[in-house]
Amino acid sequence: MTGFLRRIAWNLRHRWRRVFALLVLGGGVAAPLLTGVWWTLPLVWFFGLCVALPVFHTLTKPLPDAGDATGDADAEPVDPALDALRERYARGEIGDDEFERRLDRLLETENAETGDGVRSAGDDVADRVRDGIRREIERVRE
């Protein structure tokens, strides 16, 4: 039973918008039955989904870190090994081939640590990282 309660707690914490929307829909259907007035259904739905849900979402949205100079809240966490590799490449200590080889090795070990042995799910992340690094390489070359 603890697994069931833990699952409910997780869903309420991480998927509260869906739970709130279902409660509003159910409340809208129950409102005319309880009050006897038909127009309470669209009234509850409108205020619940168009007023309360956006307000609650805005109030619970996480704030960006105060130390983040870029202000980009969607940025991926910083990897110190990747930063060191970028710095060595920028200083000219390693060449393009060596950079690509070490980057591939770094991404393979990252996939092994997260349990992505197949690399099907990790391909998107790896491709995004490679694209970002290639853009950085082009920017450094200019």
**Closest alpha carbon to 22 in 43, 40, 30:** 30
pLDDT of residue 73 exceeding 50:
no
**Closest alpha carbon to 45 in 32, 58, 28, 29:** 28
- For 60, residues 6+ apart whose C-beta sits below 8 A from its C-beta are 16
Q: With pLDDT > 90 as the criterion, what percentage of the chain qualifies?
A: 20
pLDDT of residue 69 exceeding 70:
no
Q: Indicate the pTM of the whole model.
A: 0.41
**Closest alpha carbon to 101 in 89, 111, 113, 91:** 89
